[in-house]
């Protein structure tokens, strides 16, 4: 049985995971009566809730006597590290492009990486049934993108298919017919994607995906480059410098068969498999026969651009809602995450009570924090800050992102104004169909932190923003931060509705009556630019005349609820976000008012 290894790459929400669903259904991977969830590859709870792919995953289908291994990749730029490392596992790529939106920033990122490693992509124009589809223009845009990314003549001669992943059909003609289903795509993969090149020699495999299994321990997924492997075979692990990390035996070999992983006795070069039995080997290490001495070269990964401090929660409510609160437990969890996630970098502070976690963007770090809080962790995290560099002359450089915003014409003015305030330079403005404009900016990463929710408010939820790291450029100067101060609690206890009602003219509340508060905790957004301490515990004075029942039904304005993503981008440098399995609270870094005065407060908003 011959093998093909392909990756499905695209911008976020262009339909990768939905297409994989249909490929599995039409290739007979499911029984006729089998109940299958929608987006079956998005197995993790956060992926289902957010509707995005976070982790790259492998599956396989059988077609006309051949096995096609498929890797579903994330579409969001923050999880680009997942895409970069799996491209070394495959020999071809399906580039999925939305028939209306066309190539977007993440399309550019993943296609650039795929072309660099020499893959010859298949271009699929998906969602062809959209009423605002413009497939002919999109094809031209894709060709221009390939040319701009220095594609070779072979890569520019890409085959094109049209269709709809959700409806389950693809064809060489945008009009159909649709009765062949996805057979034209599978046939094209067999014809266009070469079989894996097999190198002579003993067993060698580079680790690309890592996961922990409660029964099998560490499971490493990768493509076997040479030789073959059997269960119980001795192997050794080499890091990138050639140093032996460990030696051991393979306890189990798992092959991808549909959405299941089945144990097999032997696997050969060219196949993508998962192996278990080793305790230290990780991503980018070479797993090989004991006779091998030279490690394989792993694909370089782009550096992180955003960093945050993860600290032990020291608030008065610490330890009341979570069971994993000590620095040692937090450190072990972060180190475990860094092993499998090559785009993360963890550094320990000198005091050993906090950790600097660097990644590709706020979303990647927010997903890590959300995962940890669901596992029972309590911690305090700081506002995201950008990772600055210095050039050889000592000049300060900062990360600049390419920002693409699709917005209704009527709201374009406010977007341009806000982006210029955040030191963004407009590069392009063009219509994108249906009275909408596509605005392209080059803007500093620190100016974009917190802009997503502000932009949605300004445009009444109609704008769509996509970002991609562009380059490091000279520091662009100060950026005005948040304009409002905060309302702080000056006592500890439970918030009272009567007190909150009388304080509503001071600003919008972010807590509800009955919620536990403590001195130094942020309870609302001040209408002015200074911080104000308030007493939200003050109850009504009860006398013979003023009874408890009178005006019992105090009507409060509903509070502004802070999600984790919004809280991280909203807080200032002198504030922290306290994250527990139950609550997300905002607080000052120094809870005592005298400490805050002593250390001063930064209101510049410069990260």
Q: Is 424 helix (H, G, I), strand (E, B) or coil?
A: coil
pLDDT at 247 over 50: yes
Distance CA 405, CA 397 (A): 25
Beta strands, E only, 457-554 = 464-474, 486-489, 493-494, 507-509, 516-517, 522-526, 532-534
Question: According to the model, what pLDDT value does residue 48 have?
Answer: 60
Average pLDDT over residues 486-492: 92
Question: According to the model, what pLDDT value does residue 79 have?
Answer: 66
Please list the residue range(s) of the chain that carry CATH number 3.30.70.240. 389-474
Q: Given CATH 1.10.10.10, say whether it is the number of domain 3-192.
A: no
Cα 451 to Cα 427, 459, 466, 532, 575: the distances in Å are 19, 12, 12, 25, 18
Reading the block at residue 287, the tokens are 């797993």
The predicted-structure confidence for 372-399, as pLDDT tens digits, reads as follows 999 999 999 999 989 888 888 889 999 9
The answer to whether the beta carbons of residues 16 and 95 sit under 8 Å apart is no
Question: According to the model, what pLDDT value does residue 54 have?
Answer: 63
pLDDT at 591 over 80: yes
Please list the residue range(s) of the chain that carry CATH number 2.40.50.250. 486-599
DSSP strand pairing (436-444 vs 217-226) = unpaired
Question: According to the model, what pLDDT value does residue 200 have?
Answer: 86
Q: At what angle do helices 412-421 and 451-458 cross, to 10 degrees?
A: 150
The predicted-structure confidence for 26-42, as pLDDT tens digits, reads as follows 776 554 444 444 444 44
pLDDT at 112 over 70: yes
CATH architecture of 486-599: Beta Barrel (2.40)
For the chain, the maximum distance between any two Cα atoms, rounded to a whole number of angstroms, is 95
For residue 295, what are the contacts with CB-CB under 8 A and spacing of at least 6? 238, 239, 240, 241, 242, 285, 286
Own/partner long-range contacts of 387-391 (Cβ < 8 Å, ≥24 apart): 387/303, 387/304, 387/305, 387/306, 387/307, 387/358, 388/475, 389/472
Query: How far does Cα 556 stand from its chain's mean position?
Result: 37
pTM above 0.85, yes or no: no
Quick one: fold of 204-288? Elongation Factor Tu (Ef-tu); domain 3 (2.40.30)
Beta strands, E only, 64-203 = 66-72, 92-98, 122-126, 160-164, 169-171
Tell me if 14 is assigned to a ligand binding site: yes
Handedness of CA 559, 562, 566, 571 (dihedral sign): positive
The predicted-structure confidence for 416-453, as pLDDT tens digits, reads as follows 999 999 999 999 998 877 788 989 999 999 888 878 87
The predicted-structure confidence for 500-534, as pLDDT tens digits, reads as follows 988 989 999 999 999 999 999 999 999 998 999 99
Q: Is 163 helix (H, G, I), strand (E, B) or coil?
A: strand
**Phi and psi angles of residue 233, each rounded to the nearest 5 degrees, phi first:** -80, 135
The answer to whether the beta carbons of residues 358 and 399 sit under 8 Å apart is no
Question: According to the model, what pLDDT value does residue 576 have?
Answer: 94
Give the CA-trace dihedral at 282, 342, 387, 308, to 10 degrees.
-80
Reading the block at residue 124, the tokens are 């699929």
CATH class of 389-474: alpha beta
Question: Residue 506 gets which letter from DSSP?
Answer: G
pLDDT at 580 over 90: yes
DSSP strand pairing (486-489 vs 532-534) = parallel
* Least confident interval from 9-23, 274-288, 375-389: 9-23
Question: According to the model, what pLDDT value does residue 133 have?
Answer: 84
pLDDT at 323 over 80: yes
Name the more confident of 257 and 455: 455
Distance CA 271, CA 69 (A): 8
Question: According to the model, what pLDDT value does residue 35 have?
Answer: 45
Strand partners, 8: 72, 94
| CA distance between the termini of the chain | 55
pLDDT grade for 606, boundaries at 50, 70 and 90: very low
Average pLDDT over residues 286-314: 86
Average pLDDT over residues 68-93: 78
pLDDT grade for 602, boundaries at 50, 70 and 90: very low
User: What is the DSSP annotation of 367-378?
Assistant: HHHHHHHHTTB-
Question: According to the model, what pLDDT value does residue 547 have?
Answer: 54
Average pLDDT over residues 396-417: 91
Tell me if 286 is assigned to a ligand binding site: no
Tokens 């962790």 -> residue: 377
How many C-beta atoms lie closer than 10 Å to residue 143's C-beta? 16
Q: Which helix (DSSP H) or strand (DSSP E) does residue 606 occupy?
A: none
Question: According to the model, what pLDDT value does residue 441 have?
Answer: 93
Nearest to 341 by CA among 213, 467, 207, 225: 207
Cα 125 to Cα 24, 163, 173, 174, 412: the distances in Å are 20, 6, 11, 9, 28
Tell me if 18 is assigned to a ligand binding site: yes
Distance CA 427, CA 438 (A): 11
The predicted-structure confidence for 282-299, as pLDDT tens digits, reads as follows 888 889 999 988 888 877
Question: Residue 110 gets which letter from DSSP?
Answer: H
Tell me if 423 is assigned to a ligand binding site: no
* Least confident interval from 185-189, 195-199, 224-228: 195-199
Sheet order of strands, 507-509 included: 507-509, 522-526, 486-489, 532-534
pLDDT at 339 over 80: no
Name the more confident of 106 and 47: 106
Nearest to 208 by CA among 355, 87, 96: 87
Question: According to the model, what pLDDT value does residue 81 have?
Answer: 67
Tell me if 66 is assigned to a ligand binding site: no
Average pLDDT over residues 485-490: 92
Reading the block at residue 426, the tokens are 């407009």
Question: According to the model, what pLDDT value does residue 80 have?
Answer: 65
Question: According to the model, what pLDDT value does residue 493 have?
Answer: 92
Q: Is 438 helix (H, G, I), strand (E, B) or coil?
A: strand
pLDDT at 47 over 70: no
Please list the residue range(s) of the chain that carry CATH number 3.40.50.300. 3-192
Tell me if 17 is assigned to a ligand binding site: yes
pLDDT at 545 over 70: no
What value does the mean pLDDT of the chain take?
84
Tell me if 15 is assigned to a ligand binding site: yes
Say whether the peptide bond before residue 223 is cis (omega within 30 degrees of 0). Answer: no
pLDDT at 605 over 50: no
How many C-beta atoms lie closer than 10 Å to residue 416's C-beta? 18
Distance CA 103, CA 107 (A): 6
Q: Is 462 helix (H, G, I), strand (E, B) or coil?
A: coil
Distance CA 122, CA 206 (A): 25
DSSP strand pairing (122-126 vs 92-98) = parallel
Distance CA 2, CA 326 (A): 52
Tell me if 230 is assigned to a ligand binding site: no
């Amino acid at each position: 049985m011959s093998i093909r290894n392909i990756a499905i790459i695209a911008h976020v929400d262009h339909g990768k995971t939905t297409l994989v669903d249909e490929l599995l259904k039409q290739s007979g991977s499911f029984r006729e009566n089998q109940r299958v969830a929608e987006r079956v590859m998005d197995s993790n709870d956060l992926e289902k809730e957010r509707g995005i792919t976070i982790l790259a995953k492998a599956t396989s289908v059988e077609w006309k006597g051949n096995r096609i291994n498929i890797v579903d990749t994330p579409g969001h730029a923050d999880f680009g590290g997942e895409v970069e490392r799996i491209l070394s596992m495959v020999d071809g790529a399906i580039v999925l492009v939305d028939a209306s939106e066309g190539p977007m920033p993440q399309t550019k990122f993943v296609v650039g990486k795929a072309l660099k490693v020499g893959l010859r992509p298949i271009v699929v124009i998906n969602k062809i049934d959209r009423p605002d589809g413009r497939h002919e223009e999109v094809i031209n845009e894709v060709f221009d993108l390939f040319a701009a990314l220095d594609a070779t003549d072979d890569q520019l001669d890409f085959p094109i298919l049209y269709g709809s992943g959700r409806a389950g059909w693809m064809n060489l003609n945008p009009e159909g017919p649709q009765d062949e289903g996805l057979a034209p795509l599978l046939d094209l993969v067999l014809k266009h994607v070469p079989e894996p090149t097999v190198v002579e020699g003993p067993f060698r495999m580079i680790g690309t995906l890592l996961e922990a299994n409660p029964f099998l321990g560490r499971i490493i997924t990768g493509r076997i480059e040479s030789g073959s492997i059997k269960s119980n075979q001795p192997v050794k692990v080499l890091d990138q410098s050639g140093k032996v990390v460990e030696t051991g035996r393979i306890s189990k070999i798992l092959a991808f068969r549909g959405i299941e992983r089945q144990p097999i006795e032997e696997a050969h070069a060219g196949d993508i498999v998962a192996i278990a039995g080793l305790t230290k080997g990780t991503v980018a290490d070479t797993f090989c026969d004991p006779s091998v001495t030279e490690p394989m070269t792993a694909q370089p990964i782009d550096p992180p651009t955003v960093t945050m401090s993860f600290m032990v929660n020291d608030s008065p409510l610490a330890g009341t809602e979570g069971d994993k609160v000590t620095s040692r437990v937090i450190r072990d969890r972060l180190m475990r995450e860094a092993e499998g996630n090559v785009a993360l970098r963890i550094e320990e502070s000198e005091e050993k009570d906090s950790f600097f976690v660097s990644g590709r963007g706020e979303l990647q770090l927010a997903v890590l924090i959300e995962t940890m809080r669901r596992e029972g962790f309590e911690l305090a995290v700081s506002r995201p800050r950008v990772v600055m560099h210095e050039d050889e002359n000592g000049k300060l450089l900062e990360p600049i992102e390419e920002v693409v915003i699709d917005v209704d014409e009527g709201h374009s003015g406010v977007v341009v104004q806000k982006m210029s305030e955040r030191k963004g330079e407009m590069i392009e403005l063009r219509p994108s169909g249906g009275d909408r404009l596509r605005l392209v900016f080059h803007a500093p990463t620190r100016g974009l932190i917190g802009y997503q929710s502000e932009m949605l408010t300004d445009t009444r939820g109609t704008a769509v923003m996509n970002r991609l790291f562009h380059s490091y450029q000279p520091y662009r100067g100060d950026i005005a931060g948040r304009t409002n101060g905060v309302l702080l609690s000056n006592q500890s206890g439970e918030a009272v509705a009567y007190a909150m009602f009388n304080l509503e003219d001071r600003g919008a509340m972010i807590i509800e009556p009955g919620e536990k508060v403590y001195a130094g905790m942020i309870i609302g957004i001040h209408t002015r630019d200074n911080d104000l301490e308030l007493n939200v515990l003050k109850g009504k004075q009860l006398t013979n005349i003023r009874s408890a029942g009178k005006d019992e039904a105090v009507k409060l304005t509903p509070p502004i609820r802070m999600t984790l993503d919004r809280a991280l981008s909203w807080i200032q440098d002198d504030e922290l976000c306290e994250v527990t399995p139950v609550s997300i609270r905002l607080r000052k870094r120094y809870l005592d008012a005298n400490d805050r005065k002593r250390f001063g407060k930064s209101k510049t908003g410069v990260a």
